[in-house]
Structure 1
Amino acid sequence: MAQVPQTFFDALAVRTWCGLALRALGRAREEIDAINVYPVADGDTGTNLYLTVESAATAVEAVFAGYETGCAEPALADAVRAMAHGALIGARGNSGTILAQLLRGMAQVLADAGDAAHTDGSALRLALRRAADSARQAVAHPVEGTVLTVASAAADAAAAAEGDCGTVARAAYEGARAALAATPGQLAVLERAGVVDAGGRGLVAVLGALVEAFTGEAVRETPRPSGAVSDAHARVEAVAGCGPEGGPCAEVAGADGPAFEVIYLLEADDAAVDRLRARLDALGDSLVVVGGDGLWNVHVHVDDAGAAVEAGVEAGRPYRIRITHFGLGDVHTGRERPPRERVQRAVVAVVPGEGLAGLYTEAGATTVLARPGEPPASGELVQAVRRAHAREVVLLPNDAELRHTAAAAVEQARTEGIRVALIPTRSAVQGIAALAVHEPERRFDEDVVQMTSAAGATRYAEVVVAEHESWTTAGICQAGDVLGLIDGDVAVIGADVTATARTVLDRMLQAGGELVTLVVGDEAPPSVATHLETHVREAYLAVDTVAYRGGRQGALLLIGVE
């Protein structure tokens, strides 16, 4: 079905573009992953670009959701800033981080112009130019034959085009396609592998979506012959020295390079980030620092991951830290290492704080950290399922609001041949109960039944602080009130954290129970766990209590009763 064209760049055009770009990258993800050979042949560029755009699209949808139905819609500035911010906080990998800066560069231009100013395409030309220039500046050592080259070619072609946004977008797309085709002649590792640059291929898909958003016509994609993806995999593996035809490891760019990819968001001022760039540049390579206005996304490849994180701590406040050991073994470290074997069964769990992430990891689960206000997208859950590297996976979303996201991730993972079972846990304490009875040696169905039963037998509660006045099932609360929620509904409104938590716990134990689980957040009073443990011991003789530190988990306290 043809897309309804947008005549100029307004908020709806941004929304349409993000949706089409996500769809285009979804179709091309496997192909882009297969040709990923530079800067590291780790086969995830397509996935990283998809996750980055998914985060951008989610942020734009959130802006639209804030407006009432009818004629009202966001301003262009609101939409493009949301797109850029979403891409920034959700950027994955080297190419995803660069794409986030490309979108930020475009947003800086478009946000300064009124909606009606884009009919002739002049603002789009300027936006593409700013995008290419800012992305190049964000990379410590730009290399030609990469996504940077493709972005510059798109901006050059757009600058020479006259007409409306559709005309300019099509010129940019054609310029990017031509530049992409030339990348093997600019980067030797691409030529040896017989592929084009993966990041550039992703950008072409994103620009093709821009053409479709403005013209209503899908761009013609080059037909992919049967077996093309597997052939590309084989060529890349041969160049990497990982396949049966493989040569020396040094044939891959980055073969003698660092072993870890480190990514984190950073709150810091410009001067501190300048110093951070210099320090990280000395520690490793593939350094990309994007963002501004106090929030940055930092990406670097290093051998000493701890030093890269420490540098961020000295510069400001790093968070959402992700450290990945490249999976090519000797390609990156020079050490012989057998390929990782797929395990039979694994558990993937969404957790609300660093403390619980450590607890779940110690229990053998693969974790996805969900920060307050930043729930994981379905693509991130699929990536975690893949990272678990198992034939059978049990997924614990640990949040009632994630049920649809988790279900979508399960469906996607199943299409990839992974057997996945979704246990509808609505709280991290239900996940703890399920994980406690998990036995990988049991038959898969039996294990899922036992874990589901344990989760379902666990009542859950949380203690939070009200952010604003609101009607609740327990009455009207004011901003600053302490709320006790049982099974998702407000049951207690109080003024003191410890007293409210005690009341909540008493109500839960009225129906009986054998074990109380407490997960204490960083902002809770230090003595709350001790007080509640003493109260349970004195008032409920047959009930045991266990307490964990949850870290920055949003809620002051999570409570589970089994």
Structure 2
Amino acid sequence: MITGAQLRDAYISASNLIGNEKQKVDELNIFPVPDGDTGTNMSMTIASAAREVSRFEDGGIGQCASIAASALLRGARGNSGVILSLLFRGFAKGLKDVTEAGGQQLADALAIGVEAAYGAVMKPTEGTILTVARVAAEEGKSAAVKGASAVEVWEAMCEGAHRALAATPELLPVLKKAGVVDAGGKGLTLILEGMLSVFQKGIVIPSENVEEQQPEVSVKRAVAEWEGEITFTYCTEFIVGRGDQKAEEDAKNLRAYLESIGDCVVVVDDDEIIKVHVHTDGPGNALQEGLKYGQLLTVKIENMREQKRRAEEEAAAAKPEKQRLERAEPENDVGFVAVSAGEGINGLFRDLGCDQIVSGGQTMNPSTEDILEAVQAVPAKTVYVLPNNKNIIMAAEQSVELADRKVVVVPTRTIPQGLSAMLSFDPDRPQEENLLDMVRAAEHVSTGQVTFAARDSEYDGHRIKEGEIIALNNGKLTFSEKTPVKAVTKLAKTMIKKDSSFVTIIYGEGITDEEAEEARSVIASKAGDNVEVTMVNGGQPIYYFILSVE
């Protein structure tokens, strides 16, 4: 049976393992564009659960799973993070009110999570994290039917996940061509493995990143590092000088007594001394027993509960507090939240009526909690959310059921789509008509982007080297060029059609005003008199240029 304390440690172990391996998972992403990478997003998502459950001390597995599910939901980043949160949210539902879980309960709980994850994706794609989760759940159920224990069921889940991960290239040709497995699926196998380490061996995998270690996981001491729940208060260490007494049974007898009054007993002896370590509520009794075998040469007693409290306080003091937005009473009829980066672009959204801007976008996927906080800081009964990035839409959608007001997510995938959606809003129209108009307006905008390749890649027939300037037309990699200006002018030529009326050039970090003007001049001359070309200093990171063509 798996207890609440074991599940707590399992989440922490899983968070540490994927945190250690997140860069390797990120490197599995085959698209060369810099983005909110899968490993980083999944690591940040489960780290939110690890932080919350680390304070969990006493309770059933269902209670621990519920705490983790809530934290995962709020901390979800990127599509992979949201899917991960849905898996463990369903897992928590399956363990509701359960004190200890056996194999069948664990298998059924994960199956509920898989069903929830599949249901949340409009067009589930096999060969992704969904497939890995599904096969893991199926293997777990198969083992449970045969009467497997909780640990054996989790072992079966891990084996199924690894087998499904290895098969992902056969399900997705783009993975096979790149010679990699699915990044999200790999992240999930790491999380399941990290949890298995606790269930199978009682070992919390340590974090290799000092900055990301959970301070609540362990409190360091002179000869031992405690992990898990504090059962006894005092860490007691002493050395007994044996003198002339050298009975072979001394150490064995002393160990037997100490095990009767505490745990984590270590007794090491040689011809001259007996070295002792024990966790106990009666350190005096331990010392008194030690005196039976010789003189006490050294004694050290530490209150572990007090140590842990101080460590938590120090960790909290060392971590800078995030400036939180204050909740606003919903007084107005409607309000808006947009996700964007760059002062110029932020200013455009504010000018169009956005109440709150969530900092984020490519490589900076905000969490559901970030979006939720912004929503509730808008003084409106209905809040429209514009994610402006395909990898943020699912996180935004999770805020709908968490908010204390109505939230409408407009599924904008780019900054130009978000700006066009805002322009189409009419306060005199009903909500359903406005949503439809905003979606249509977004769909009628073509988006061009000029950025750099984050990794060597062969994608869609293009062989790309890290650092190359690349151009995307509506998210599709189109070509590479030597300079951003050459890339954006060439991209505009491919995007402007006979029926095009407006072109907006948004230039970002690393582009000078002179380079931007050069690009505008070339594009305007090629566009013709019937196309209005405007330019904005967006100040956005990652993208040298963003083109909006309508």
TM-score using structure 2 length: 0.50
Question: Relative contact order (alpha carbons < 8 A, sep ≥ 6): 1 or 2 greater?
Answer: 2
TM-score, structure 1 length as denominator? 0.49
- Rg larger in structure: 2
